[in-house]
Amino acid sequence: MFDKKSYTLYKFHKQLNQAFQNKRELLESALPVLRNLFKLDRIYFFDWQQERAILSLRMMCKKEYCMDKQEDISVISEPAFLKQLLREGITETTDLSYPAIYVLVKWQRPSMELKGGEVRTYMQEKVGVLRLERFKKTRGFTPQERELIKALGQEISHNLRNTEIDQAKNQRLNVSTALNALSTVFASSLRLNDGLELILQGVQKYFRFDRVRLYLTDSYARRIKEALCVDISGQVTHQTADQISPQEQGLLKEVFDSAVTYRSTRSVIYIPLKVQRSKVGFLAFDNVLSRRHIGYLDFISLQQFASQMALSIDNARLFERVQELSNYDELTHLPVRRYFNEKFAEEIYRAKRFDLTLSLMIIDIDFFKQINDSYGHQIGDWALQEVSRIIRTSLRQTDVPCRFGGDEMVIMLPSTNSEEAKIIARRLKERINAITLPTKYTGGEEIHISISQGIASFPSDAGSAEELLEKADQALYVVKKNGRGVFAVYREVADQVQGYSKE
């Protein structure tokens, strides 16, 4: 048979024997039970910060409701009162005009700390205090009630410990779920920068940092080549290498030269991104504006995620590098025909949509077959490489050259009319004419390379990509018929094209 105390404890245990999301939810359930059980007028819960000698009021329960409270009460002048509470677990106050007792509540919760770059997990002891009040002077607490209240306080302590452990587990699970979801989004992104933007926006949204920054290194990991940043607005901004300050550039060496795996300065944390010995970049998280503390769980989760992110970035870079190589001709380092055709279609669409001009130039190396036959394919390849080098270094950044096949090359000139195209053609002609074949292969004879060029412009010469290519080729044909080594615009030689077609 249960006695009254055991029965009350059992009922209290049954009421609290459930999963609570956090300490607040547990107290909202437990305090009203105590209030009704002992017919209290009011009950408080305090967090006791022993190192600061402060009782921090967190919750008050009276009548039928509980409410959150925020008030710090200094207890530095009451050591005897506190010593008794710590020693006996319960004590009665004498500074009020009505009966009130304090009950000690002690529990443990999972915590983490950083020491020498290593994260240590341990159970941290927490201390709380319940204050139970009855407003009538004649309704003091009996010894039996004090004993039962103390036992119920221990039951609350036990449940607080379980709740804190469950909460920590749920937090880790939620973080892992969120980061896994971000990783999935990143992995499914077709382009590296798109994936990085989504990752940064997701991390900022989930962890609620004031700002998240990602610094990416160049291929030699010697300097920062670009940075992406997202703030509380959710907007992503980009910085190129020349926009990054010397102080930020200096962070690269500082972060990676550190003996620990992180660097923390006040409300800023830096985490390096490494794949084996390869330095991919580093992440920076800060709450400089809000001054909110960055918790160890956040740091550990992000540190683990950083390794996964570094590997994904490294793989994505490798994939893009392979793709880039597949778009370029190995001998001339010019884009291949497939890549050019995609860009050509895009530029024709833009020109039509926004009423822009566009010119196309087809180039042949004059007497290229004779060079191969007379001096060998090695010299032929050398000639191709030299002509391609001149083309690459003589064009604007928006122009798109291509090795179309054999010694034939095509250059697309966006937002360029035929007169402007002539200027570029003349520049190429002069620079390529200055190339001479190596005399050790020509028997000391000085042999210069020359090119023939055919030009057509949109929309004056043609209205489609196919027609523009055909008209440029026809202009090139006229140049070859007339002796090579020069350039011609289709519109200016159209009558000759028609004459040759009748022959």
Q: In the beta sheet, which residues pair with residue 132?
A: 43, 101
Report which of 460, 472, 487, 464 is spatially closest to residue 344, judged by C-alpha positions: 464
Q: What pLDDT, on a 0 to 100 scale, did the predictor assign at position 502?
A: 43
Angle between helices 377-394 and 418-433 in degrees, nearest 10: 140
Domain 4-163 adopts which CATH fold? Beta-Lactamase (3.30.450)
Q: Is 0.85 surpassed by the pTM of this model?
A: no
Taking the C-alpha atoms of residue 207 and residue 485, their distance in angstroms, rounded to an integer, is 65
Indicate the class that CATH gives domain 337-502: alpha beta
Mean confidence (pLDDT) of the chain: 85
Confidence bin at 264 (pLDDT 50/70/90): low
Q: Which two tokens stand for residue 15?
A: 């009421």
SS3 content of the chain, % helix, strand, coil (to 5): 50, 25, 25
Cα separation, 364 vs 487, in Å, equals 10
Same fold, 189-325 and 337-502: no
Q: Where are the domains of the chain?
A: 4-163, 189-325, 337-502
CA-CA-CA-CA dihedral for 349, 352, 354, 360, to nearest 10: 80
**Of 206-215, 349-358, 421-430, the least confident:** 206-215
pLDDT per residue over 194-240, tens digit each? 778 888 888 888 778 889 999 998 877 788 889 999 988 888 898 88
The CATH number assigned to the domain with range 189-325 reads 3.30.450.40
Which pLDDT value is given to residue 16? 85
Rounded Cα distance, 209 and 246, in Å: 25
Question: And the tokens for 265?
Answer: 């300065």
In three-state secondary structure terms, 27 is: helix
Evaluate if residue 176 carries a pLDDT over 80. no
